[in-house]
Amino acid sequence: MTVQSVGAILAAGYWETQSGAATSAPGNGKFQADNWAAPTLLAFSAVDADGYDRHAGLVAALPGDLCWQTAPNDSQNYQRWTVVSVTDNGSWTQAAVTVAETGPAFVPPGTNQRRLVQLLSLAQPSGALPWQAWAPPLDPPTTGGLPQDTAQAIADACWSTDPHLCAALQWEAYAAMLPPTPAVANVSTGAQAVSYSPPMPGGDYGLAMARAAWHRSLRGNAESAELVLAPPAISSVPPGLMPAWWEVA
């Protein structure tokens, strides 16, 4: 089975197969296909077989998204389709698809057979690239933020394999641009006192390093390269092109 990254689950539920053309509305809880062995057109009721309204998720699919139908008694009896287009008909949704993959135990379903259908989004969110959601302030648009080209170089090196390491390196690179601030060893409000051991960096620098440490903590027991090492994905870099904070000691 091909492994792909999934952006979001748009819809998931059980529908029952129904005979008939995929150009007409199926009954509640039903779905139809122009050819169960290798469909190019599907029609889904907006309400699944359990009575749940799936309309919003069905019509949210974009070209390139994935749709799966799986037999409830055999996970290898499945077929995966790539969405070509979606038509919203109110009480039912029509989807043009192409077959992307069939399971090793796939058997085209007959009529009145229950199937788990999952619609998965692969489209990237509009606007910012995914890694920017975890990144520190970027310049542009934020003056004084981490330069966009530096952040992009980090993302190119490790976002796809280790997103939390990517975010940690970006926040550490940003912190390296900020003026050091005095460390906070003790805070007292009069009613209570809190001590930090070792002392905690303060200010924006401290907040940036705390965010970096948080991302590193989410990597579990995985070891990460220190900031002074060149990214492992880059075997050699022409002189003058490597960011200063990546120079090998």
* Domains of the chain and any CATH numbers: 8-121 (2.40.30), 130-246 (no CATH)
| Per-residue confidence (pLDDT) for residue 140, from 0 to 100 | 82
Cα angle 69-90-109, degrees, rounded to a multiple of 5? 20
Model confidence, pTM: 0.50
Distance separating alpha carbons of residues 68 and 70, to the nearest angstrom = 6
Average pLDDT, the chain: 80
Q: Which residues contact 190 (CB under 8 A, 6 or more apart)?
A: none
Q: Is the pLDDT of residue 131 over 90?
A: no
pLDDT band, very low/low/confident/very high, at 67 (cuts 50, 70, 90): very high
Cα separation of the two ends of the chain: 43
| Per-residue confidence (pLDDT) for residue 104, from 0 to 100 | 92
Distance separating alpha carbons of residues 83 and 167, to the nearest angstrom = 32
Backbone angles phi and psi of 241, in degrees to 5 = -100, -15
Burial 74-86 (b: 16+ CB within 10 A, else e): eeebbbbbbbeeb
| Per-residue confidence (pLDDT) for residue 207, from 0 to 100 | 82
Mean pLDDT of 138-161: 88
Mean pLDDT of 86-94: 93
Reading the block at residue 112, the tokens are 């009145």
Query: In residues, how long is the chain?
Result: 249
pLDDT band, very low/low/confident/very high, at 201 (cuts 50, 70, 90): low
pLDDT band, very low/low/confident/very high, at 187 (cuts 50, 70, 90): low
The fraction of the chain above a pLDDT of 70, given in percent, is: 74
Cα R_g (the chain), whole angstroms: 26
How many C-beta atoms lie closer than 10 Å to residue 240's C-beta? 5
pLDDT band, very low/low/confident/very high, at 1 (cuts 50, 70, 90): very low
How many C-beta atoms lie closer than 10 Å to residue 201's C-beta? 20
